[in-house]
Chains A and B, each alone.
Chain A
Amino acid sequence: MSNFDFSTTLGNAFFNTPVFTASGCASSGKELAQFFPLKDIGAVVTKSVMNKPRYGRPTPRMAETPSGMLNSIGLQGPGIEAFLAKDIPWLVEQNSRVIISIAGETVEEYATLARKVRSVPGISAIEVNISCPNVENRGLVFACDPDSSRRVIDGVRKTIGGEIPIIAKLSPDVTNLPSIAQGVVESGADALALINTVLGMVINLETMRPHLGGKTGGLSGPAIKPVAVRAIYQVHAAMPDVPILGMGGVSSGRDALELILAGASGVSVGTASFGNPHAVIEIQRELRELLIAKGFPTLKSAIGYAHREASE
């Protein structure tokens, strides 16, 4: 049991375990470190950072929904300089594997961010978040447009070279997800993060207006897990060799296993950490036990197992 191989890879990055935090759901790791050692999980994926400091969207920023929640944070953050100076050295000191998530308003901003991240020691991969739903202009959601998604990833790839793997984070709010995925992979993405939140809205019955300050928000939590499983399954079927970091409503080891069987090489835990600060480490333990109980010799042998032929 102790020699079970739980490791995974995303591009050329190696991880001891396949369970990560999800960007935007662990800040920069410090808070969760009070509940478990960050080095014990696969990696910390930091909150998407932009080039400049940013206030984000007005409150209310949150609404609980049946088995889920809407958020409209709007990428509040310290900006890349302060983030790299303060947050990253601390994470590296914890011996945590780190994936930096970046977000920009223009193709150039992504390239600038990539250039600043490129030379940082101790980074396992870069997540390029082209799918944050909480931006002023929905036209800025690059991942909703095949051409814009390609241009962002192309710009980041040219800046980064082959040094660290690029993970493109995509939105499920598109008609043809495999074609968007295909585009970013052709532009140089080494892996895909699926899925970002699903755009939603809640009307407040007291005010009889949209409840969130930003009106719309991103739906997360168990409510969107079937959307994530579908998205991962579709993209893995189209491109079985492209590693996927799966996320969307995972709150147990069973949920994580579903995403792995659909084709994910790793799983990020997001909203579940809000309800349970130990969620990431508990889900990791449960997933490992489940894989062993199901008879898989390695984690890798379970990736995409739901796609096998009926006779197998």
Chain B
Amino acid sequence: MSQINRGAAHLNATVLANKRVGQYHQIVLGIGDLVKSCRPGNFVAIKVGGESSRMILRRAFAISRVAESASFGGTMELIVAPHGSGSKWLCSQSEGSEVDIVAPLGTAFGIPTSPVNALLVGGGYGSAPLFGLAEVLKARGCKVDMLLGASTGAKIYAPMEGKRAVNSLKIFTEDGSMGELGRVTEPIKVLIDQKSVDVIYSCGPMGMLRAISELTDDTDVVHQCAVEEAMACGIGICMTCVLPVKDDSGAISMLRSCIDGPVMDGSQVQWHLVGQVPEANL
């Protein structure tokens, strides 16, 4: 623990594809042999804005999936929402341009050694890394069900090829514009009560991750969540992306979500203390 991802490297990657998918951009980067170090849950930190930019910090993106092909070599796919000036810049990069990346960073989702019933829960474009994860879990013989939620249908990211990687996929929107009306957390309690899920993998807004942790508390269900905190460096040196996390001895530490995360044990994150400083003595 508390070590930078050993596979992390700093290099220039070529944009091989950049296409709009609904409200998102699907961006494919050529990263060569670096794919061998990438695991589902890892992220990439990308320099944005070009040489004379006033944006001095990298932007962190979850790695959606990696692949290797004869024609393109190793590739990394990202799903980017063009919200801020950094992500807009990235989404405006045309095929053939080069971007400066540091990857893979952070922890990965733990993959069970024997087949289990896995439930993958994604909020908004938080679903992106779950499709790559689903492929890995399926290869291990797991049953893979997926729940995706968003405020509205346009914010659901669920590509056709991704649907083939899961046993079932249900979509929930808060305005009912796609799938069922409601929140993605609502069916989880039923699945837990039915004992039809062993491990929940989640990625999305912190409120959703917290709600899932509250459902899995006092159950045998393991909750591995990919957290989202504002980061300046992504490599563990700035100490801005910390979360209060309890270890096995009961001590609470402010852990860096870039090094001890983004994938964390949901039962150890002290959700009620996020944004505060723990009172207890260290």
User: Which residue numbers of A lie inside 8 Å of B, CB to CB?
Assistant: 24-27, 30-32, 34-35, 47, 52-62, 64, 66-69, 71, 73, 76, 79, 213, 221-222, 251, 271-278
Assess whether B21 is interfacial by the CB under 8 Å rule: no
Q: 7 closest pairs, A vs B, by CB?
A: A62-B240, A53-B282, A274-B233, A31-B236, A61-B240, A67-B54, A31-B4
Query: Given the complex of chains A and B, what is the CA–CA distance between A58 and B229 in angstroms?
Result: 12
Which of B56, B238, B275 makes the CB contact (< 8 A) with A67? B56
Q: Chain B residues near A35 (CB, 8 Å)?
A: 10
Q: Chain B residues near A274 (CB, 8 Å)?
A: 56-58, 232-233, 237-238
A275 touches B47 (CB 8 A): yes
Main secondary structure of the interface of A (DSSP, over half): loop
Q: Which residue of B lies closest to A21 (CB)?
A: B237
Q: Chain A residues near B242 (CB, 8 Å)?
A: 56, 59, 61, 76
Query: Given the complex of chains A and B, what is the CA–CA distance between A271 and B10 in angstroms?
Result: 17
CB-CB under 8 A for A59 and B274, given A69-B232, A274-B233, A275-B58: yes
Assess whether B230 is interfacial by the CB under 8 Å rule: yes
Q: Chain A residues near B238 (CB, 8 Å)?
A: 25, 62, 71, 73, 274
Query: Given the complex of chains A and B, what is the CA–CA distance between A159 and B270 in angstroms?
Result: 41
B237 touches A273 (CB 8 A): yes
Q: Chain B residues near A57 (CB, 8 Å)?
A: 277
Assess whether B235 is interfacial by the CB under 8 Å rule: yes
B239 touches A56 (CB 8 A): yes
CB-CB under 8 A for A59 and B275, given A35-B10, A76-B254, A275-B56: yes
User: Which residue numbers of B lie inside 8 Å of A, CB to CB?
Assistant: 3-4, 6, 8, 10, 47, 54-58, 100, 102, 229-233, 235-243, 254, 259, 274-278, 282
Q: Which residue of A lies closest to B240 (CB)?
A: A62
Min Cβ gap A234→B in Å is 26
Which of A34, A71, A278 makes the CB contact (< 8 A) with B240? A71
Q: Chain A residues near B8 (CB, 8 Å)?
A: 34
Which of A30, A61, A213 makes the CB contact (< 8 A) with B239? A61
Q: Chain A residues near B239 (CB, 8 Å)?
A: 24, 27, 47, 56, 61, 73, 76
A30 touches B4 (CB 8 A): yes
Query: Given the complex of chains A and B, what is the CA–CA distance between A96 and B190 in angstroms?
Result: 56
Which of A47, A52, A56 makes the CB contact (< 8 A) with B277? A56
Query: Given the complex of chains A and B, what is the CA–CA distance between A61 and B243 in angstroms?
Result: 11
Q: Chain B residues near A24 (CB, 8 Å)?
A: 239
Q: Chain B residues near A54 (CB, 8 Å)?
A: 282
Q: Chain A residues near B276 (CB, 8 Å)?
A: 58
Q: Chain A residues near B54 (CB, 8 Å)?
A: 66-67
Which of A59, A69, A278 makes the CB contact (< 8 A) with B10? A278
Query: Given the complex of chains A and B, what is the CA–CA distance between A30 and B102 in angstroms?
Result: 16
Q: Which residue of B lies closest to A251 (CB)?
A: B56
Query: Given the complex of chains A and B, what is the CA–CA distance between A55 and B279 in angstroms?
Result: 9
A71 touches B254 (CB 8 A): no
A60 touches B230 (CB 8 A): yes
Query: Given the complex of chains A and B, what is the CA–CA distance between A285 and B108 in angstroms?
Result: 35
CB-CB under 8 A for A62 and B282, given A56-B277, A271-B56: no
Query: Given the complex of chains A and B, what is the CA–CA distance between A55 and B276 in angstroms?
Result: 10
Most buried by A among B3, B54, B56, B232: B56
B278 touches A55 (CB 8 A): yes
B240 touches A59 (CB 8 A): yes
CB-CB under 8 A for A31 and B235, given A61-B240, A66-B54: yes
Query: Given the complex of chains A and B, what is the CA–CA distance between A58 and B151 in angstroms?
Result: 28
